[in-house]
C-alpha cells in the first residue's frame, strides 16, 4: 500500500538507519531487509496517525493497536507473529542506539504461529518424478537434461531453490560429490550428494550446458533457455509442473523437495544435527519439525495397517 504522506523526518531517518543496520551489521538478505523495513514502516505510519512524531513517543498500546488492526483486517497469525518480532527487533535496536530510553515492545505479544507439517512426497512419488525426467532427458533436449539435474540435486541435497540457482560450476566438487552452498546470512556450508545426482549433473555439463551457454552465462552452473543464469521462477515452474502432473499430492514447489529430502534422511536414520547442517538451519528447533513429520507418517501407517489401531 502506497502512503500519501511521508513519515515525519525523525521517524523516516530511524527507518533508514535501521535498514543500514540490517544490511551492514546483520548482513541480512535483500528480501529479509525489504520485509523488515516494510513492517517497520507499517508500524510507524500507524503510530503517526495516532500523533507519534518521534520514537520516544512510541508506546506499548500503539504497538498492540497496530497488531490488532491488522488482525481485524484478516492478517494470518503467522504474519502477525512476524510483524511483532520485527517491532521487537526495531525497538531493541533503537534502545541500543539510545534513540529511546525504554523499550515499549518488551511485553508485546502476538498470536502463536501455526506450524503446519510440511508436505512430504512418498518415495514412490519421487521415483515417478525422476523416471519421467530421465525419459525426457534421454531425448537429448538441453532443457530436459537440465531439469533432471536440477530436481535430482534439489532432492539429493535439500538445498533451497535460491541456493541452487546461485551455484557456480566451481561450487561443484565432482570427485567428493559435494556442493559449496551460500545460504541465508551469507553463511557458507558444504553439502554432499549421491551418485544419481552426480550422474545427472555430469550429464548436464557434458551434453546440456554447452548448447545453451552464451557470453551472458558466466560461471553459472544452471542456465536458462537464453543462456543466462537460471532464475528462481524458472526452477519453481519446473518443480511445480512435475508435482502437479503427479495428480496425487497437494505438495507444490521446490520447497516440497527440501521437506522430502529432510524427512527421508531422518526416516533413514540420519542424525538430527547432521540434517541441520545439510539444510543450513541456524537453530536445531527448525530442523526438529521433520521429526514430527516422521512421527506423523509413522502414526498414519500404523492406523492404516494395524487391525486394532
Query: Which residues are catalytic, by number?
Result: 160, 184, 255, 258, 281, 290
Task: List Cα–Cα distances, 5 to 8, 13, 16, 48, 89, in angstroms.
Answer: 9, 15, 17, 10, 25
Nearest in space to 167 (alpha carbons), one of 197, 195, 123:
197
Distance CA 275, CA 134 (A): 27
DSSP string, 30-77: HHHHHHHHHHHHHHHHHHHHTT--SGGG--HHHHHHHHHHHHHTT--H
Say if residues 152 and 201 touch (Cβ distance below 8 Å): yes
C-alpha angle 276/280/285, rounded to 5°? 45
Give dist(CA 275, CA 261) in Å, integer.
9
Angle at 184 between CA 183 and CA 189, to 5 degrees: 30
3-state helix, strand, coil in the chain (%, to 5): 60, 5, 35
Answer whether 193's CB lies under 8 Å from 153's CB.
yes
Phi-psi bin for 108: left (phi > 0), alpha (psi -120 to 50), beta? Answer: beta
| Sign of the CA dihedral running 33, 39, 41, 44 | negative
Write the CB contacts of 94 (distance below 8 Å, at least 6 apart in sequence).
Answer: 14, 18, 55, 100, 103
> How does strand 178-182 pair with strand 188-192?
antiparallel
- Grid coordinates given for 288: 526438529
Amino acid at each position: 500500500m502506497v502512503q500519501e504522506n511521508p513519515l515525519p523526518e525523525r521517524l523516516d531517518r530511524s527507518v533508514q538507519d535501521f535498514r543500514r543496520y540490517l544490511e551492514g551489521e546483520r548482513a541480512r538478505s535483500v528480501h529479509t531487509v525489504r520485509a523488515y523495513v516494510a513492517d517497520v514502516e507499517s508500524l510507524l505510519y500507524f503510530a503517526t496517525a495516532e500523533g507519534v512524531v518521534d520514537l520516544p513517543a512510541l508506546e506499548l498500546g500503539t504497538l498492540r493497536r497496530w497488531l490488532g488492526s491488522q488482525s481485524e483486517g484478516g492478517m494470518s497469525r503467522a504474519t502477525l507473529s512476524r510483524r511483532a518480532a520485527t517491532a521487537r527487533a526495531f525497538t531493541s535496536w533503537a534502545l541500543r542506539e539510545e534513540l529511546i530510553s525504554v523499550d515499549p515492545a518488551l511485553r508485546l505479544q502476538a498470536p502463536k504461529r501455526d506450524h503446519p507439517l510440511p508436505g512430504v512426497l512418498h518415495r514412490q512419488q519421487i521415483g515417478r518424478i525422476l523416471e519421467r525426467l530421465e525419459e525426457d532427458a534421454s531425448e537429448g533436449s538441453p532443457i530436459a537434461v537440465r531439469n533432471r539435474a536440477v530436481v535430482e540435486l534439489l532432492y539429493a541435497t535439500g538445498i533451497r531453490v535460491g541456493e541452487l540457482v546461485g551455484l557456480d560450476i566451481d561450487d561443484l566438487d565432482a570427485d567428493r560429490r559435494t556442493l559449496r552452498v551460500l545460504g541465508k546470512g551469507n553463511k557458507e556450508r558444504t553439502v554432499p550428494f549421491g551418485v544419481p545426482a552426480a550422474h545427472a549433473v555430469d550429464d548436464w555439463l557434458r551434453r546440456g550446458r554447452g548448447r545453451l551457454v552464451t557470453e551472458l552465462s558466466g560461471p553459472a552452473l544452471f542456465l536458462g533457455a537464453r543462456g543466462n543464469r537460471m532464475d528462481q521462477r524458472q526452477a519453481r515452474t519446473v518443480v511445480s509442473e512435475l508435482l502437479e502432473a503427479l495428480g496425487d499430492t497437494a505438495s507444490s514447489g521446490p520447497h516440497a523437495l527440501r521437506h522430502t529430502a529432510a524427512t527421508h534422511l531422518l526416516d533413514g536414520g540420519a542424525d538430527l544435527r547432521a540434517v541441520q547442517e545439510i539444510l543450513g538451519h541456524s537453530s536445531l528447533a527448525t530442523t526438529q519439525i521433520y521429526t514430527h513429520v516422521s512421527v506423523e507418517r509413522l502414526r498414519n501407517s500404523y492406523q492404516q495397517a494395524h487391525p486394532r489401531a
